[in-house]
Amino acid sequence: MTAAHEHESRTWREYRHATDSHLLIDGRIRPSHGRGISPADPTRFEMLAAHASYPRASRYDPRWVYLNHMGPNVLWIAEALTQVVDLEPGMRILDLGCGTALSSIFLAREFGAQVWATDLWVHPSENWPRICEAGVADRVFPMHAEAHALPFADGFFDAIVSFDAYHYFGTDVRYLAYVSRFARSGATIGVVDEMTVTRTERARTKSDRRTPFVRSLRRLSRAP
Ligand SMILES: C[S@@+](CC[C@H](N)C(=O)[O-])C[C@H]1O[C@@H](n2cnc3c(N)ncnc32)[C@H](O)[C@@H]1O
């Protein structure tokens, strides 16, 4: 296991310590820095969280992921994106709607990127201890920003990513043009978001072992 995993496990014990006495909800643990409630069956959850398609994400403490989750396993979807786009050390990445900044931490740790962890609902002061605990305080910069009023210079980012968040702010057809101005020419823009799999789509995927969502990403990565 990596140092990060040891670190995350220690954090989990701290959560336990902090919560055992006074932060129980429905008999389950609510963490101090985490946002979620512990899984009903932690052992089964840990087993399910290790996924062969996402070897990097599977190295992280699943309890840390669960306790800070805001939707689907964001390390899985972040890793899925990195399987179809190239990220390099030192790149400036905007993580738009980062929530609890798990994806920002992941991109900084795994690819040595500098990540601006930008969110509306989760305050930077909530994300900062998590970022420090994960050992990436020199590379992940938590910020509060509304996605339609971003405080960045035009052309600043080498990549803009968004995981399970774009549908909250990007549904206007003009939004992509707006956010693109913060990316340099030739930059990558990667969005992984919720989608409904229709019956037709499901039928098509029967003969195609790749998930619709990864196929969409491949299409995206081929776009000019
Ligand atoms: C379902 S959460 C996903 C968070 C994170 N990306 C993840 O996958 O764990 C959606 C996030 O979108 C952010 N969001 C929603 N509307 C936003 C807006 N107008 N500007 C910036 N962020 C926004 C929220 O603050 C929230 O953290």
Query: Which of 72, 91, 118 is where one domain is finished?
Result: 72
Residue nearest to atom 6 of ligand 1 (CA): 98
Determine the atom of ligand 1 nearest the C-alpha atom of 162: 6
198 has a pLDDT exceeding 90: no
Same domain, 103 and 158: yes
Domain that holds residue 114: 75-220
- CA angle 71/109/180 to nearest 5° reads 65
Is 170 a pocket residue for ligand 1 (Cβ < 6 Å)? no
Q: What is the DSSP letter of 97?
A: T
Determine the atom of ligand 1 nearest the C-alpha atom of 98: 6
Query: Which of 13, 37, 72 is where one domain is finished?
Result: 72
Q: Considering its fold, how many domains does the chain have in total? A: 2
The pLDDT tens digits for 201-212 are 565 555 444 444
Under 8 Å between Cβ of 131 and 104:
yes
Phi/psi class of residue 174: alpha, beta or left (left: φ > 0; alpha: ψ in -120 to 50)? alpha
Same domain, 199 and 88: yes
- Residue 2 binned pLDDT confidence (cut-offs 50, 70, 90): very low
Same domain, 110 and 65: no
At 16, list the tokens: 């336990």
The pLDDT tens digits for 26-70 are 444 344 445 556 777 878 888 888 899 999 999 998 888 888 989
For ligand 1, the distance from its centroid to the CA atom of residue 50, given in whole angstroms, is 25
Same domain, 113 and 205: yes
106 forms beta bridges with none
For ligand 1, the distance from its centroid to the CA atom of residue 1, given in whole angstroms, is 30
